[in-house]
Amino acid sequence: MSVKKIGWSVGLLLLSSVFADEVALKNGDRLSGQITYLEGPYLFLKTDYAGTVKIDQSQVVSFTTTNAVNVKRDLFSFEIVGHGAEFKIVKKEGKRAQRLLLVDTDDGVVQMPMSEQISLAKINEKMPKRQDLKVTGNVTFGAYIDRDSTKTARYNWANTIKIEHGLWRHTLNGAFYRKTESDRTKSYYYNLGYSVDRFFSPHFFWQSAMSYQHDWIEEIRENTMVGTGPGWQLWNNERSAFSVATLLNYQVLEYRNGDHRENPQASLKWDYRQALMNQSIKFSTTGEVGRSFNQAVTLDLNLGATLSYQLTDAISVNTGVSYEKIRSKDGESRNRSVHFGLGYHW
């Protein structure tokens, strides 16, 4: 047995006899009890004075558990059995602080970055189940009316709902936009979309998607598309996420003059988000660009970008832009919108 391991074990033994498990918080408080498990964004501490306390991980600066534990890095890793564990924030000069979990095992101390993907439980407890269903979403809406010489009016609505269940991720979205100038409608459309991702590793997933858009103004009246293909989650954490996917699609276009076209297509999709200023400012952009194999559609582009400022945990003020363009042999469709409004998040 190494000197380092002996020191670790003796330290845990002394700590257990005096403090049991201990959690230190950002506000300076220290809580003692038994850490029963850690899962997602929460740590659960069983105490004699308040029962089981649920603690937000983001408020924890360190903890130590003297219980034998099971640890899983993520859904795709094997369990690590340890004699105890310690979480701490390590700061090095000129570098960003690291949040580390150290697990004392028979083979030595295993060190890993702390994340919401980690599950930790007492050895005599079942490994905590990941939340069976996690639902998040947002709805944004806005209206602009200018009754001066041009009498301009703009109305927009958009929503996104994400449902995560085990290795599956579902995304539903929709948008509506209408713009009039001098009592003449310049833009008027809505779109709906659904995609499902099945993860086979922390990064690789397979996506299937469908979308529909109806336009009352442009030459292309309806655009329906279904597709499937591989994707890659480059990273995904509480501050930022970025994923890309390449799809093979089947597209059906209905034109205002009655023409009908069916096109096989390849496309590239992206989804990027970034939180700034302690999560108070959020930027996101999503989009898809494609081209048909039969050259009937030389460009199919759909992109959007949004910047939001959180007024409360649920309410935000948003501004953004969206752009859609289809260039085909039989007609074109182009919509560009700028919006400003309020959003609700859950």
Q: Which CATH superfamily is domain 134-345 in?
A: monomeric porin ompg (2.40.160.40)
Give the bridge partners for 53, in sequence order: 45
In this predicted model, what pLDDT tens digit does every residue of 173-204 receive, in sequence order?
999 999 888 878 888 999 999 999 999 988 89
In this predicted model, what pLDDT tens digit does every residue of 212-240 receive, in sequence order?
999 999 999 999 999 999 999 998 877 88
Q: Domain map of the chain by residue range?
A: 3-122, 134-345
In this predicted model, what pLDDT tens digit does every residue of 6-53 receive, in sequence order?
455 545 444 444 447 889 898 988 888 888 877 777 888 888 888 888
* Distance separating alpha carbons of residues 108 and 254, to the nearest angstrom: 65
Q: How far is CA 335 from the centre of its chain?
A: 27
Sign of CA dihedral 24, 30, 36, 39: negative
Give the pTM: 0.71
* Distance separating alpha carbons of residues 211 and 197, to the nearest angstrom: 15
